[in-house]
Amino acid sequence: MKTLNEIEQYYQENTEWMNKYIKSFYNDNKEIQAGISIKEVHTKKVASISGVLAGHLQLNKHDVILAQIIGLFHDIGRFKQFTIYKTFNDALSENHALLGLKVLQEYNLLERLSSDDRQLLEFAIRNHNAKQIEQTKDKRQLLFAKIIRDADKLDIFRVLRPYLTTGDIEPCSAVFVEQFKNGGQCDYKLIRTQNDRKLVRLLWIYDINFSWTLSKIVSQGYIEEIINSLPQTADMKIGFGVLKNYISQKLKQPDMPVAY
Ligand SMILES: [Fe+2]
């Protein structure tokens, strides 16, 4: 697939294919259907956000579409995962990114892509939910992995907003608070309380790659909302301060257009 028209057509056809594929998972069970619908909307939003972010980074038209294709397919494994295991928790089921790559292979969805684009897409999807992006010397692959990770997180803040609880009595675990004060990442396996879960969402901020994404997260009010829902202890306030300082520094650094 060489021309712009071809990749545009590929994206259009696969958007329609995904619509049908997702509909095949619709279920009379309300709980299952709610999960499928959440991921259906998420898929569309992430494809769109990825395209806008790629455009913001001044990628060429082909690569903007490629970013959208990665967004479209990034969570394709979720539908099977939720239907089989009734959970989106990878630790309790299986890694949904790897499951997604298997689905893409099962339906031969990538065979029309050039081998470079195909490898790049597989790299980005495999790494979209990893704690860290795996080492690579391929700057293009790294760039697209960063785009999907940002687009995904931005939309997950939207998805999780209605579930934000306030007044949770159990405090954040000491190990999390310590890492939060130092502005660091933490081990998700150590999550114990509802407040830990909320704190992890704040810690994602340190993993946002582009100023553009951060400014969207800030302007939607997600961060303030989560901060206000957490215990306002002295230690937590130190962490909030470190986070806010980090955000204002990051927002001062404009994203560099990608050179070709
Ligand atoms: Fe995902």
Q: Cite the beta strand spans of 47-149 per DSSP E.
A: none
pLDDT score of 154 more than 90: yes
The pLDDT value recorded for residue 157 is 97
Helix (H) or strand (E) holding 36: helix 30-56
Confidence of residue 188 (pLDDT cuts 50, 70, 90): confident
The first and second tokens of residue 125, run together, are 């999807």
Task: Tell how far the Cα of 45 is from the centroid of ligand 1, in angstroms.
Answer: 13
Q: How far is CA 127 from the centre of its chain?
A: 10
Task: Tell how far the Cα of 78 is from the centroid of ligand 1, in angstroms.
Answer: 7
The pLDDT value recorded for residue 1 is 65
CA distance 233 to 131: 28
| Nearest C-alpha neighbor of 202 from the set 220, 180, 170, 235 | 180
Task: Tell how far the Cα of 157 is from the centroid of ligand 1, in angstroms.
Answer: 13
Mean per-residue pLDDT over the chain, rounded: 95
Q: What is the pLDDT of residues 110-142, one digit of tens each?
A: 999 999 999 999 999 999 999 899 999 999 999
Q: Which residues have CB less than 5 Å away from ligand 1 (the ion)?
A: 75, 129
CATH of domain 4-159: 1.10.3210.10
Rounded to 5°, angle at Cα 229 from 226 and 231: 115
Q: What is the pLDDT of residues 57-112, one digit of tens each?
A: 999 999 999 999 999 999 999 999 999 999 999 989 999 999 999 999 999 999 99
The first and second tokens of residue 94, run together, are 């299986």
Helix (H, G, I), strand (E, B) or coil at 254: coil
Confidence of residue 187 (pLDDT cuts 50, 70, 90): confident
Q: What is the pLDDT of residues 38-51, one digit of tens each?
A: 999 999 999 999 99
Task: Tell how far the Cα of 205 is from the centroid of ligand 1, in angstroms.
Answer: 17
The pLDDT value recorded for residue 140 is 96
Task: Tell how far the Cα of 129 is from the centroid of ligand 1, in angstroms.
Answer: 6
Sequence ranges of the domains in the chain: 4-159, 168-252
Question: Half-sphere exposure of 5 toward its Cβ, with a 13 Å CA cutoff?
Answer: 0
Residues 6+ apart with CB under 8 A from 223: 202, 205, 217, 243, 247
| Nearest C-alpha neighbor of 186 from the set 169, 168, 174 | 174
CA distance 124 to 145: 4
